[in-house]
């Protein structure tokens, strides 16, 4: 039996623009997905995932005559989740040169699914790592991040960025721009507060919407480039000896405004952003694809957490420190 875990993430800056070659700075947070894998004696794959839908699910597939999993919950609840797990299994089998290996897989996660906190990336990273090691092979972190990205890229119909999977694999604060992916060293404390509205945006639809807007309007393309310029300024601040939280927060506020202009915010997200700002946060913005899900605030006081607890539409609020660990080999 082999166990790996990987962290979720928030975007300090740069979501959506990163799809077009601009830089982004995602940061790993101390909420994790954990995947346990045990090899079977046959070629079947059995998945228990209590945390990947409202009621969880158990799926088994493989073996003679099985063309698809037998599902015990509605298909639309499982298509995305099973796509990620199926892709992780395929990548692990390929890495270990064991195309017919059977596996029992258990997925546990304390990252809200589809909320913009990188739950799918964390599951895929941890899943590939645990399954590959269970099959007797080793995989370097850089190769793990690339394989995990290939899974997300396929499941999300080519709309995915490598930022989520790279951040989940490496941990800490990272900079991603095209093929240039690296950790940002010596980042100081980043006191995050996350607000979650209980919903989830459709990542593919939101990314496609930004693409359409960018293709039709020069000002939308300029907005995407402005986000990239903002990220570069924010990265410079992160690399300084003392992290100026007020300046970082100001850039977060600006970033949220630009994302709103691109049509990816939502009333619930805006309400949480303003609640955090008005309670004394240095800055706040949506994180992830948008359309619903989470916001992230920068606040070293209790103000924004308390305000979010009482904000209509905020289902959960929690503090989330920067997680300097990436994928963790637990057994």
- Has residue 253 got a pLDDT over 60? yes
Same domain, 177 and 248: no
Is 277 found in the same domain as 246? yes
Whether 226 maps to a domain, the answer reads yes
Dump pLDDT digits (tens) for 49-71: 876 544 444 555 565 545 444 44
| Angle separating helix axes 141-155 and 119-134, nearest 10 degrees | 130
Task: Give dist(CA 28, CA 148) in Å, integer.
Answer: 16
| Same-domain check for residues 151 and 294 | no
Whether the predicted pLDDT of 243 surpasses 70: yes
> What is residue 76's predicted lDDT score, i.e. its pLDDT?
43
133 alpha carbon, distance to own chain's centre: 23
Q: What residue numbers bound the domain in which 228 lies?
A: 192-320
Same domain as 203, residue 172: no
Task: Identify the pLDDT of residue 22.
Answer: 95
Beta bridge partners of 329: 4
Verify that 152 and 232 share a domain, yes or no. no
Is the separation of the CB atoms in 276 and 295 below 8 Å? Answer: yes
Same domain, 237 and 148: no
Average per-residue pLDDT for the chain: 89
**pLDDT computed for residue 74 by the predictor:** 41
Confidence of residue 239 (pLDDT cuts 50, 70, 90): confident
Q: Are residues 80 and 132 in the same domain?
A: yes
Q: In this structure, what token pair is assigned to residue 16?
A: 């959506």
Whether 293 is covered by a domain: the verdict is yes
Q: What are the tokens at 165?
A: 């999977």
246 located within any domain:
yes
Cα–Cα distance between 226 and 212 in angstroms, integer? 18
Q: Are residues 176 and 205 in the same domain?
A: no
Query: What is each CA distance from 283 to 117, 190, 261, 278, 279, in whole angstroms?
Result: 18, 12, 18, 10, 10
pLDDT at 123: 94
Considering the domain boundaries, does residue 329 fall inside one?
no
Residue 331 resides in a domain: no
Q: What DSSP string runs through 160-179?
A: --THHHHHHHH-SBEEEETT
CA distance 20 to 210: 11
Q: Which of 51, 86, 129, 164 is the catalytic position? A: 164
The lowest-confidence range among 14-28, 137-151, 237-251 is 237-251
**Cα–Cα distance, 26 to 17 (Å, whole number):** 12
Instruction: Write the CATH number for 256.
Output: 3.30.70.890
pLDDT of residue 65: 45
Query: Are 178 and 204 found together in one domain?
Result: no
**Which one has a higher pLDDT value, 100 or 159?**
100
- Token pair listed for 36: 């346990």
Residue 327 forms part of a structural domain: no
Mean pLDDT of 86-106: 95
Q: What are the pLDDT digits (tens) for 172-200? A: 999 999 889 999 988 888 999 999 998 87
**Band (218; pLDDT cuts 50, 70, 90):** very high
Q: What is the mean pLDDT of residues 266-273?
A: 96
The sheet carrying 103-109 orders its strands as 57-61, 45-49, 103-109, 25-39, 2-13, 328-329
pLDDT in tens, 108-167: 988 877 778 988 899 999 999 999 999 999 899 999 999 999 998 888 777 677 889 999
The reported pTM is: 0.87
* List of E strands, the chain: 2-13, 25-39, 45-49, 57-61, 103-109, 174-177, 180-183, 192-196, 283-286, 294-298, 316-320, 328-329
Count how many domains the chain has: 2
323 catalytic residue (yes or no): no
Taking the C-alpha atoms of residue 256 and residue 87, their distance in angstroms, rounded to an integer, is 32
């Amino acid at each position: 039996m082999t166990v790996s875990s990987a962290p979720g993430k928030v975007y300090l800056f740069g979501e959506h623009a990163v799809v077009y070659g601009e830089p982004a700075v995602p940061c790993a947070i101390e909420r994790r997905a954990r995947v346990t894998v045990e090899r079977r004696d046959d070629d079947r794959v059995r998945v228990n995932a209590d945390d990947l839908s409202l009621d969880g699910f158990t799926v088994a597939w493989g073996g003679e005559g099985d063309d698809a999993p037998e599902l015990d919950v509605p298909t639309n609840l499982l298509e995305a989740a099973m796509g990620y797990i199926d892709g992780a299994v395929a990548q692990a089998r390929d890495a270990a040169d064991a195309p017919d290996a059977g596996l029992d897989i258990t997925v546990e996660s304390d990252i809200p699914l589809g909320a913009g906190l990188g739950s799918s990336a964390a599951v895929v990273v941890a899943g590939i790592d645990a399954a590959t090691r269970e099959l007797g092979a080793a995989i370097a972190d850089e190769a793990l991040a690339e394989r995990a990205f290939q899974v997300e890229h396929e499941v999300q119909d080519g709309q995915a960025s490598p930022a989520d999977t790279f951040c989940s694999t490496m941990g800490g604060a990272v900079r991603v721009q095209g093929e240039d992916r690296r950790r940002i060293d010596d980042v100081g404390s980043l006191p995050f507060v996350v607000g979650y509205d209980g919903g989830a945006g459709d990542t593919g639809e939101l990314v496609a919407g930004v693409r359409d807007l960018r293709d039709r309007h020069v000002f939308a393309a300029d907005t995407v480039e402005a986000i990239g310029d903002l990220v570069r300024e924010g990265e410079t601040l992160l690399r300084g000896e003392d992290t100026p939280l007020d300046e970082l927060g100001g850039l977060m506020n600006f970033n949220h405004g630009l994302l709103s202009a691109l049509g990816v915010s939502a009333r619930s997200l805006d309400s949480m952003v303003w609640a955090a700002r008005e309670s004394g946060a240095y800055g706040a913005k949506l994180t992830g694809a948008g359309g619903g899900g989470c916001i992230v605030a920068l606040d070293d006081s209790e103000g924004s957490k308390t305000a979010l607890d009482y904000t209509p539409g905020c289902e959960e609020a929690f503090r989330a420190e920067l997680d300097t660990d990436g994928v963790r080999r637990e057994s």
